[in-house]
Amino acid sequence: MEELVGLREGSSGKPVTLQELWGPCPRIRRGVRRGLEWLKERLFRVGEDWHFLVALGVLMALISYAMNFAIGRVVRAHKWLYREVGDGHLLRYLSWTVYPVALLSFSSGFSQSISPFSGGSGLPELKTMLSGVVLEDYLDIKNFGAKVVGLSCTLATGSTIFLGKVGPFVHLSVMISAYLGRVRAKTIGETENKAKEIEMLSAAAAVGVATVFAAPFSGVLFSIEVMSSHFSVWNYWRGFFAATCGAFMFRLLGVFNSEQETITSIYKTRFRVDVPFDLPEIFFFVALGFICGVLSCAYLFCQRTFLCFIKTNRYTSRLLATSKPSYAALVALVLASITYPPGVGRFMASRLSMAEHLHSLFDNNSWALMTRNSSPPWPAEPDPQNLWLEWCHPRFTIFGTLAFFLVMKFWMLILATTIPMPAGYFMPIFIIGAAIGRLLGEALSVAFPEGIVAGREVNPIMPGGYALAGAAAFSGAVTHTISTALLAFELTGQIVHALPVLMAVLAANAISQNCQPSFYDGTIMAKKLPYLPWIRGRQIGSYPVTVEHFMNCNLTTLAKDTPLEEVVKVVTSTEVSQYPLVETRESQTLVGIVERTHLVQALQTQPASWAPGQERFLQDILAGGCPTQPVTLQLSPETSLYQAHSLFERLTLQSLFVTSRGKAVGSVSWAELKKAISTLINPPAPK
């Protein structure tokens, strides 16, 4: 049945349906319809980024919460088994050690059998990728499954192995981002855009941190500091939008599951708000920063040295090459035996989970003053309301247990980082920093039991505030980041210690960044991944050093008037991926770039119309359809090292040609830049 139409009075003659003509309030309905169309146009004018970022944040929040839920059930089952086996030391020891040994063996074997790229945190490799290096299959979807299963088994061991999930979750988020990007490109027929892909991967890195700590602000800043040397501010909104969606969804799931009444911080504290610290305490916070900086340098040096030792030692390298699960089981057995509660683990609060470690260390009461006159008994089971009792022992003081915890966890964490399995290393470093700050805070509370007098008021010292500053300072020094200060505030929900915490983080970074590479840069060096080192402090000496001092002058060029016989000789005798194309052999004027693969394909498919015996030149192949690329960027011999380094960093370049008045005179790649920077930082001794 045909729809009846009519003409509106005063219209230009365009027919409308009778339903629209006779409907109520036609002008209002037309205005609403136009408003909705305008809103739709404005909302989706930026493309599909909104849908993409929302989906990314929600998916990562669901994965993070589901993993926490499953791991919590497994950890509780382990604790139940440990309690129910009885009082026999052998059964209790076996129940404590066999569990993590089996889980770590399976984690290492399963993840490595599916994908060798699933081990470790993944942040060093991601940092390398965002600098322009292509790592094949690193973001493949099968790697995602291996990482999820392996990480779940690693975290199910609890505080026995003492590892986290920040780094692997950043890797998981980036993999999901890459997969969603490929799906979107195939769906809408979009061509590959390398710059857009890097922008989305940067936003995905922020989502990984935000869905672990429910901290969107520090998640974005931490991912920028760790993953990027330069960042486009106009891309800020992608990271913040996706991180906010992920953090909100992660905390909302906790409310829906009745874990909490509303959205709050993960590690809530009860610090005084009116006078959280006295002015003289600023000196001790800065001193804490220097202590964390020195200890972070020691940790970074030992961790990098031990990792290189494990890779070069004849026995351990053979074991890692032939049987990774056996190595994981051996290390897990050592760590689990040390943390056995009736043994040495009794002196290092080994019955607490990693979350309970932080909750207890952030306690604002002084344990040393509470146990000055009496030593409380060691409870048979951890008391959720008095977790600090796990740090007390009749034979040890609070200072003894905290110091013993730091010494043991220092080398145990270094040993755990060598296991080839999915694991994160930020959370253990954060807890170690909190223990350092707690130790100093307890010492100050004993030295000043009534507080430091500032004017007429006396306020007791809160060791929990020093634990918060120590956690931010030590983790910031190890990772070379400042955003850990903001992360500490978002985790605890209090910002009363903003100034002293930030000063401690800056003091720690001042020492660490001048003495040692960061944890992730050190891992890149140990794994021998391609990387471009920073020019530390942007030394003034990097300006007088110019490209002509370190460029590669052995440049193989192909001229258009080169005979094909010589072209074949050049292609067969060299292994470069691309050749600079010059106008003539005499002028050497750079006009373009020809890829080796395209050139080989063109040489193998010569046109049949060519007369036999007739001499042909390279320009004949180019005219026949061999593609060339224009030279959009090039260096001058007078370009400074600092300018060349900045150009490579910001544009994620791998190599550039050097021209002088249009003539190709050399090339610069990462190898030449790294050698020049190394010579600048460590100049050779004068002869």
Q: Please report, in angstroms and rounded to a whole number, the separation of the first and last CA atoms in the chain.
A: 100
Residue 357 belongs to a domain = yes
**Residue 2 confidence (pLDDT) above 70:** no
Note the pLDDT of residue 678.
Answer: 78
Return the DSSP state at 116.
G
Same domain membership, residue 214 and residue 126: yes
Q: Which of 527, 560, 575 is the last residue of a domain?
A: 527
Q: Same domain, yes or no, for 227 and 124?
A: yes
DSSP 569-582: HHHHH---SEEEEE
Number of Cβ atoms within 10 Å of the Cβ of 165: 25
Which amino acid belongs to residue 56?
L
470 with 365, same domain: the answer is yes
**Most confident region among 11-25, 107-121, 497-511, 589-603 by mean pLDDT:** 497-511
Cα–Cα distances in angstroms (integers) from residue 564 to residues 462, 570, 606, in the given order: 80, 10, 11
By the 8 A CB rule, do 219 and 169 touch? no
Q: Look at residue 273 and tell me if it is in a domain.
A: no
- Domain extent, residue 588, equals 547-606+615-681
Q: Is residue 536 domain-resident?
A: no
CB 68 within 8 A of CB 181: no
CB-CB neighbours of 498 under 10 Å: 14
452 and 344 within one domain? yes
Q: Kindly report which listed range (49-58, 352-361, 570-579, 618-627) carries the lowest average pLDDT score.
A: 618-627
Residue 98 pLDDT more than 70?
yes
Residues 378 and 415 in one domain: yes
Does residue 46 or residue 182 have the better pLDDT? 182
Residues 523, 626 within the same domain: no
**300 and 382, same domain (yes or no):** yes
Most confident listed range (64-68, 289-293, 662-666)? 289-293
Q: How many domains does the chain have?
A: 3
Q: Is the pLDDT of residue 12 over 70?
A: no
Highest mean pLDDT, choosing among 76-85, 270-279, 372-381: 76-85
pLDDT in tens, 238-248: 888 888 888 88
The Cα 640–Cα 661 span in angstroms is: 17
Are residues 354 and 159 in contact, defined by beta-carbon separation less than 8 angstroms?
yes
pLDDT at 607: 60
Residue after which a domain boundary falls, among 494, 527, 560: 527
- Over residues 587-610, the pLDDT tens digits come to 888 888 888 888 888 877 766 555
In the numeric block, the tokens 């072209």 are attached to 567
Cβ distance 528 to 666 under 8 Å? no
Q: Is the pLDDT of residue 17 over 90?
A: no
Least confident of 59-68, 207-216, 260-269: 260-269
Model confidence, pTM: 0.84
Can you read off the two tokens belonging to residue 111?
A: 């993840």
Average pLDDT score, the chain: 82
The string of DSSP letters for 539-588 reads -GGGTT-BGGGT-B-----EETT-BHHHHHHHHHH---SEEEEES-TTT-
Distance between CA atoms of residues 416 and 409, nearest Å: 10
d(CA 110, CA 147): 9
Other C-beta atoms closer than 10 Å to the C-beta of 608 total 5
Average pLDDT over residues 121-126: 84
- Whether 453 shows a pLDDT value over 80: the answer reads no
CA 443 to CA 633: how far, in whole Å? 59
Contact status, residue 597 vs residue 626, Cβ threshold 8 Å: no
User: Do residues 567 and 598 share a domain?
Assistant: yes
List the CATH number of the domain containing 627.
Answer: 3.10.580.10
> Would you state the pLDDT for residue 253?
83
**Residue 313 belongs to a domain:** yes
513-540: pLDDT as tens digits: 888 888 988 888 888 888 777 776 555 5
Q: Are residues 364 and 219 in the same domain?
A: no
- The neighbour count for residue 601, using CB atoms within 10 Å, is 12
Can you name the residues that pair with 120 across neighbouring β-strands?
A: 422
Whether residue 587 contacts residue 659, with contact meaning beta carbons closer than 8 Å, is answered with no
Indicate if 227 and 292 belong to the same structural domain.
no
Higher pLDDT, 264 or 80: 80
Asked if residue 501 belongs to a domain, the reply is yes
CB atoms within 10 A of CB 255: 13
Predicted confidence at residue 456, as pLDDT, reads 64
Rounded-to-integer distance, Cα 631 and Cα 528, Å = 31
If you average pLDDT over residues 220-248, what whole number do you get?
Answer: 82
pLDDT at 431: 93
CATH number of 322's domain:
1.10.3080.10
498 and 385 share one domain: yes
Average pLDDT over residues 448-473: 82
User: Is the predicted pLDDT of residue 13 greater than 70, yes or no?
Assistant: no
The residue among 400, 408, 658 whose CA lies nearest residue 550 is 658
Examine the domain organization and report whether 551 and 509 are in the same domain.
no
C-alpha–C-alpha distance, residues 243 and 607, integer Å? 56
Strands 452-454 and 457-459: antiparallel
Please check the confidence at residue 313 and state whether its pLDDT lies above 60: yes
* Burial group, residue 491, by CB count within 10 angstroms (0-12, 13-18, 19+): buried
Per-residue H/E/C for 448-507: CCCCEEECCEEECCCHHHHHHHHHHHHHHHHHCCCCHHHHHHHHHCCCCCHHHHHHHHHH
Higher pLDDT pick, 209 / 28: 209
